[in-house]
Structure 1
Amino acid sequence: MLTGDIPPNQTIYIKNLNEKYKKEGLLPTSFRQGNPSAQETIPPHNILFIQNLPHEATSMMLQVLFQQYPGFREVRMIEAKPGIAFVEFEDDVQSSMAMQALQGFKITPQNPMAITYAKK
């Protein structure tokens, strides 16, 4: 096993994710879903819309990821619609920072997150 590899079915703890990216020269893969120009028509908002989540994703998993960014308020998941969530920040500047940092972050190897601003 290579250094830094995570064995399957192991719990990983995400702490200082941005520092890890900088230290190891890693960047999350960019991922867009649907119409590529759709995001440009939605103005910045303090609430992010998260898509392409695995069905087993929980609000606690997302909270661990997003709470490391300033201004984090809460995660809201819709039980009737697995695979999506809303994450609220204090303002649109703080939500933008989190969106840029976590865009394409893979919760599982098959599920890079697609993050856009929620519609007002």
Structure 2
Amino acid sequence: MASGSPIATVYVRNLEERVKPEVLKQTLHTIFSEYGNIIDIVAKTNLKAKGQAFVVFENPESAQKAIDEVQGFEIFDKPMQLALARTKSDATVARTGSEEELEAHKRRRLAEKDKKKAAQAAEEQKRRAPADISARPAKTQRGAGLKATGPAPSAVVPDEYLPPNRILFVQNLPDDFDADAVTNIFNRFDGFREVRLVPGRKGIAFVEYDTEQSAIAAKENTAGMALKDGEKTMKVTYQRQ
């Protein structure tokens, strides 16, 4: 669990995935409001996170009491599995901290999310990759008497699952975009350092920031941005390390 002040958020899983988010949130509010003031309920809707939710209380004592007394309670014919969340919720930070603290918290959360996605993608690629050819019985080419040699192809992590990096790789830029045009998009984010174009290559650029946190904020706010009246949609990922 993250260090610092106690967590006031209950992580709920094993929920019925077919229930609509609004119905689920209303049901959770009815059950958990008995244990304290609720300031937010987040019900996950994306495919991988369905069946999960976060109930954010005003104070940690309410969260712990709810876990102790509601653990295993069935809703929609499934027993809820409860635990304290690993980190503070955005709603908690917004309520108790400054706007700068909230933005920093969001950037840290996004960084952890990106790192987790990258690790999962790398593991999946490793699982799917063929076994090292050197571990297989050597096969002789027909009529040539030569043994097959060479390493197995290495697993490549997709761009969207790369771990955070302070350098962004920008693709699908209009051909007439120069360094100034790219700079005008990315220099509004804190920590901007420079734009580097690739000689002889149009449509791509590298954008460097002072820290990973600044790069994360820039990526989250520019990925998928429409350029030139919607003719181009900019792709922004982290540079491969």
- Stretches of structure 1 that go unaligned for 5 or more consecutive residues are 1-36
Give the residue type in structure 2 aligned to 1:62: V
Shift of 1:43: 1.1
2:229 is the counterpart of 1:111: no
Cα distance between partner residues in 2 of 1:49 and 1:38: 9
1:52 aligns with 2:172: yes
Alignment of 1:65-80 (within 5 A): 65-80=185-200
Q: TM (normalized to structure 1)?
A: 0.66
**Which runs of at least 4 in structure 1 moved beyond 3 Å after TM superposition?**
none
- List gaps (5 residues or longer) in structure 2: 1-157
Specify the SS of the correspondent of 2:170. Answer: strand
* Higher share in helix: 2
- 1:38-95 superposed Cα distances (whole Å, 9 cap, x missing partner): 421x210000000000100111011111111000000001121101000000011100
Distance 1:78 1:38, change over 3 A: closer
**What count of residue pairs does the alignment treat as equivalent?**
85
Q: Aligned with 1:95: secondary structure?
A: helix
CA distance in 1, matches of 2:171, 2:240: 14
SS at match of 2:169: strand
Larger radius of gyration: 2
Aligned equivalent of 1:8: none
C-alpha distance in structure 1 between counterparts of 2:205 and 2:169, whole Å: 6
- SS state of the match for residue 175, structure 2? coil
Matches within 5 A, 1:1-120: 37-40=158-161, 42-108=162-228, 109-120=230-241
The Cα of 1:106 is off from its aligned counterpart by: 1.7
AA in 2 matched with 1:52: N
2:206 counterpart SS class? strand
CA-based RMSD: 1.8
Specify whether residues 55 and 92 from structure 1 end up closer, same or farther in structure 2 by C-alpha distance, changes over 3 A only: same
More RCO (CA 8 Å, sep 6+): 1
Residues 38/61 of structure 1: CA separation in 2 closer, same or farther (3 Å cut): closer
